[in-house]
Chain A
Amino acid sequence: MKHKTPLLDQLESGPWPSFVSDIKREAESRTKNAKGVDYQIPVDVCDDILGVLELTYVHKRTHWKHGGIVGVFGYGGGVIGRYCDQPEMFPGVAHFHTMRVNQPGGKYYSTEYLEKICDLWERRGSGITNMHGSTGDIILLGTHTPQLEEIFYELTHDIGQDLGGSGSNLRTPSDCLGKSRCEYACYDTQALCFDLTNEYQDYLHRPAFPYKFKFKFDGCPNCCVASIARADMSFIGTWKDDIRIDQKAVAAYVGGEIKPNAGAHSGRDWGAFDIQKEVIGLCPTGCMAWDGKKLTIDNPECTRCMHCINVMPRALKIGKETGISILVGAKAPILDGAQMGSLLIPFISAEPPYTEIKELIEKIWDYWMEEGKNRERLGELIKRKGFQKLLEATELEPVAQMVKEPRTNPYIFWKEDEVEGGFTRDIQEYRKYHLR
């Protein structure tokens, strides 16, 4: 290796896959170059990334310069520029830009596709990736500026693949694996994610928003892609009708023939399955009953938390009248505190061409693009202007489902036209009856 890395070397031991060993492997592969690749950035880029990281471990401070604005023509985002603050010591990573590549739905791949990405990235980049970025993208980690257009050209022409988002725009949408391999999926997350990603390509590639905006698609309230916490608009599958009960299968659970929660707790002896304690007693609304023979659910009282279905997946199924709840405003703490998504649409149909959903998205964007301040997330705009203003902008009627509880303070705004006689009054008229 080009640099000594005594601190990082200590991260090569232990059972979990070591990123240090892996980067060293790539460094050796590049040095050897068994396939005779015509490397377009320094051969020793991986040596230098380990070198600069080792120096960071010594200094306990990052060695990346602030910011970096690079990209490809036609787009305003998709590439995160990065420059080392010790370029002479580590010329291989003097430039170390990241390219975000829009991942496929559910992150399913064929090796044929990955081979093309690897070949491209081996020649024109560092050979280091993140699989995947937190938002969902394939992250190609580390290349030099002159390669960006070349990579983009080959991505689009040879692989038929576009970049993902960055900046004040629609970021790359992502989904749980949905109907592809889950019996809980209430709608086709992958289809809706793919459709909206394509519909809004312009918003994704050319920043036109006050700040970033994310979509995520969860097939059910288990939220495997964490949309409720990590997307400005979260689409969470749900159903309106009854949970389907297979009483025979319930009996099989009670009889110990089927493991609860699909066997998720089998590493420990929790005793025999007790439907009363583990299902009925834990239902958040207390809407279930078990009389020793038959399980009943008072469905209008059910809040579809998924617990009973999660515990007995062979006996209990989601309803047949399925759709989506839409929650808005989730964000991390900066600036005025973290938010989870707040319920805006209790239920909306999720069938192509998704016209109603698109109309809603566009109304929200129209409102936020007009009213949002510089670097103000949708969640913060809703806090600043009030949830009611969002309802006006989206032409939605208020319903009790939108709140956890009604307000406790009586600082209630009324609109002038809601109040008889309006707001314009004459003090003289008042004084006729109330002497000063």
Chain B
Amino acid sequence: MPYDPSKPLQDRITDIGPKNYEEFLPPVIKKNFGKWDYHEILEPGVLVHVAEGGDKVFTVRVGGARLMSISHIREIMEIADKHCGGFLRFTTRNNIEFMVDDQSKVEPLKKDLLSRKQPGGGFKFPIGGTGAGITNIVHTQGWLHCHTPATDASGVVKAVMDDLFDEFTSMRMPAHVRISLACCLNMCGAVHCSDIAILGYHRKPPMIDAEVIDKVCEIPLAIAACPTAAIKPAKIKKPDGTEAQAVAVNNDRCMFCGNCYTMCPAMPLADAEGDGIVIMVGGKVSNRISAPKFSKVVVAFLPNNVPRWPETTDCIRKIVEVYAGDARKYERLGEWAERIGWEKFFEKTGLEFTHHLIDDFRDPAYYTWRQTSQFKFTG
């Protein structure tokens, strides 16, 4: 019996949660669950895990665009049916993994994956993303689905991954490099804790839509949404001459975070020239050697130069090249920058150090200034 809109609560099933993952485990995974002995990366994109009893599972990892059609998913399924007994998985960075239980099945799978191209010549299933390379970019909705972005997500990611493609399919970095993107500073995803982070940012205060603000906003929420207390209650004159309760924005205190717009539809701030990209570097989440680190702002603004964001791809390429050439084995980008000192990071990368990069947000800002005479002279 189908859904009956006249009796919406009839036959309603709720609170059943996700499917049990055990239904979806390939037989070799199910059999050796919790009994893995060791693993090896046989080549970029290809892993083998060996179980205590000697069973092996070979994994071929391929890049995913994250945004994908059901036609593409059906093609993934076709591959999984043909080579992997109808099982597959996705990674926490939105790559796709195909698993087989015998080495002889790896080459045919790889050949099949690499033979599949898009009309523009791109790979549908590029193999890579393992070891000390550059894997998929964790990213957000951008202009495709969100109302608060300051940049696109899918377009920027495509541009950057095209530029860094050779690093996806190789393992020549000192350590793995995690790049992520968020289209506004809500930072959905991993921008605050990535080796390199691309962040959409505004540079103009919100406009106030006097005609509707008193109807569509809960004013106290908009006021409470501001981290710098730049918003206060104020009367506003509507276009029809009447007065309404609204807010006033102190432009000198506004740093364009956009959180008031999140709370109040009458305070839009997106702007073609004002909006663009901030680059952050040096974050990590693993506890390996050093503790997890936040990423730090190193480029305060790059323009939204559609459709390929050349300033952004050039900047990231430059950071990656200098890091790859200078850092020690196992050293994450943030560990390298801290070891050589941030002044050396700017010297080596040639990035300009501007006043925007000096923290000025509340008490903790002080701890980011330099309370020591230890520093290096740079040219």
Contacts and interface: CB of A to CB of B under 8 A. Distances in A.
Interface of A: 7-8, 10-23, 25-26, 29, 46, 49, 53, 56-57, 59-67, 73-75, 82, 96, 98, 102-115, 118, 121-122, 127-132, 134, 141-142, 149-150, 153-154, 156-157, 160-162, 172, 174, 176-177, 179-183, 185, 188, 190, 194, 197-198, 201-202, 205, 221-226, 228-230, 259, 261-268, 270, 278, 282, 284, 303-307, 310-311, 313-314, 332-338, 340, 374-375
B69 A107 contact: no
B145 A82 contact: yes
B77 A181 contact: no
A62 B11 contact: no
Interface string B117-137: 011111111100011110000
Interface stretch (B237-245, B303-311, B350-358): B303-311
B21 A221 contact: no
B107 interface: no
B265 A229 contact: no
Contacts of A75: 14
Nearest to B305: A60
A11 B89 contact: no
A284 B117 CA distance: 45
A313 B330 contact: no
Contacts of A141: 67, 144-145
Contacts of A177: 89
Contacts of B94: 131-132
Given A22-B69, A56-B143, A226-B190, A181 B130 contact: no
Interface of B: 2-3, 5, 8-9, 11-21, 23-26, 29, 33-34, 36-44, 49, 57, 59, 63-74, 76-77, 80-81, 86-92, 94, 96, 99, 118-126, 130-133, 138, 140, 143-149, 152, 154-155, 158-159, 161-162, 165, 168, 170-174, 176, 185-193, 221, 224-225, 227, 257, 259, 261, 265, 268, 270-273, 275, 283, 285-290, 292, 294, 304, 306-308, 329-330, 361-362, 364
A262 B40 contact: yes
A33 to B, nearest CB: 12
Interface centre among B23, B42, B192 (most CB of A within 10 A): B192
A270 B39 contact: no
Contacts of B12: 73-74, 153, 156
A161 B19 CA distance: 6
A111 B80 CA distance: 7
Nearest to A10: B307
Contacts of B29: 108, 180-181
A110 B172 contact: no
B171 A265 contact: yes
Contact of A62 (B2, B71, B149, B155): B149
Nearest to B158: A11
B65 A335 contact: no
14 contacts: A14-B121, A14-B122, A14-B159, A16-B126, A25-B69, A60-B275, A62-B147, A64-B145, A162-B14, A185-B34, A201-B15, A265-B171, A335-B227, A375-B221
B261 to A, nearest CB: 7
B292 A228 contact: yes
A21 B120 contact: yes
Given A13-B121, A73-B9, A183-B37, A104 B3 contact: no
Nearest to A341: B292
A129 B73 contact: yes
Contacts of A190: 21
A333 B72 CA distance: 35
Nearest to B293: A340
A183 B154 CA distance: 34
B287 A60 contact: no
Contacts of A310: 288
Contact of B63 (A16, A82, A149): A16
A8 B57 CA distance: 39
Given A13-B120, A134-B189, A180-B33, A259 B14 contact: no
A122 B74 CA distance: 11
B148 to A, nearest CB: 8
B132 A337 contact: no
Given A59-B272, A127-B69, A156-B13, A162 B286 contact: no
Nearest to B25: A108
A172 B19 CA distance: 13
B87 A110 contact: yes
B122 A63 contact: no
A230 B190 contact: yes
B86 to A, nearest CB: 4
A229 B92 CA distance: 14
Complex A-B, nearest 10 residue pairs according to Cβ-Cβ distance, in ascending order? A14-B162, A264-B131, A105-B21, A12-B120, A66-B265, A26-B69, A267-B171, A267-B172, A153-B3, A221-B287
Interface centre among A181, A221, A222 (most CB of B within 10 A): A181
A127 B294 contact: no
Contact of B186 (A12, A188, A332): A332
Contacts of A127: 69-71
A375 B80 CA distance: 43
B131 A194 contact: no
Given A16-B162, A60-B272, A150-B3, A29 B73 contact: no
Nearest to A271: B329
A334 B259 CA distance: 8
B66 A205 contact: no
Given A107-B90, A111-B88, A332-B186, A130 B307 contact: no
Given A22-B67, A179-B36, A182-B49, 6 more contacts: A73-B9, A104-B18, A181-B49, A182-B36, A259-B40, A314-B37
B361 A337 contact: yes
Contacts of B66: 130-132
A37 to B, nearest CB: 11
Contacts of B171: 263-268
A374 B268 CA distance: 22
